Amino acid sequence: MSHYTHLSIEEREKSRVMLEQGSSIRAIARILGRSPSTISREFNRNSYANGSYAAHHAQKKYLKRKSKCGKKAILQSNEQAKNYVIDRLKSMWTPEQISGRAKLEKQPFSISYNTIYRAVHSGILPIDIKKKMRFMNKHKKRKSSNDNRGKIPNTINISQRPNGCTNRSRFGHFESDTVLGMRKTGLLGTHVERKSGFLVAFKLETKTDTEFSYKTIQAFENIPKRLKKSFTVDNGKEFAMHEYIKVGASVYTFSCYPYPSVNSHL
């Protein structure tokens, strides 16, 4: 049985630095505690077409390949099931009703209501479906105040931001957010420089942390290092890969307090 595991984003960044410093594949493998074949495979599979290597690009290629592996969700692979669900959602059926009715009608597919909810949230189903789902959040259970599930790990609170960021006296500190268009048409990722008001914006297809992180790193690639010092973000899940952004864009990310009223002094 193979025990091969893919490199983490931190290992990819260390590999890039050592490669640029002229280290050999065997030397890199020794430092990371990996086999030389693993490092060689990493550079061969995840480099740019011109042979150069970057950690964020390598991670993007790896995640893209990973997304194509394994069994696809039924609402991606079964057009009949997808149309069946969409038609009934548009008629204001709940996912629970759709799942139960499909079973009673002995449809040639089996689908759970949780699968339908996930498909709506993830964007597998058309975005306008959400407008009709007034019952969307009713299936979610209330969580106790000490429940840590869903919280973003390893965040740095805004209380630790440098003075140049807090008092807007230094360039390079940005406030980051996502902006949804009117009637939920179109989605943008935005970074506004706190001192100058300079805006960095890009279009998003989804509100996932993966896409937001990649687009952020790409947008800041050509901005001088002295002009990119920090991002201040809220607690939205699109910022969950803040550690990856730190490595890829060389920018620290600070998170707001969980309650809007406390953030009024930003």
- The chain-wide mean pLDDT, for the chain, equals 82
Q: Is the pLDDT of residue 9 over 90?
A: no
Once rounded to an integer, what is the mean pLDDT over residues 248-265? 70
Question: Which residues have a Cβ under 8 Å from the Cβ of 36 and sit 6 or more positions away?
Answer: 25, 26, 29
Task: Give the C-alpha separation, 242 to 185, whole Å.
Answer: 26
Structure tokens at 77: 């692979």
For residue 159, give Cα distances in angstroms to 134, 165, 197, 233, 255.
Answer: 38, 11, 22, 13, 9
Q: When comparing pLDDT for 128 and 48, which is higher?
A: 48
pLDDT at 10: 84
- The C-alpha atoms of residue 173 and residue 194 are separated, in whole angstroms, by 6
Pick the CATH number of 156-265 from 3.65.10.10, 3.30.420.10, 3.30.9.10, 3.40.50.1370: 3.30.420.10
Sorted by where each begins, the domain ranges of the chain are 9-67, 74-132, 156-265
Write out pLDDT tens, residues 197-209. 999 999 998 888 8
pTM of the model: 0.44
Least confident of 2-11, 100-109, 236-245: 2-11
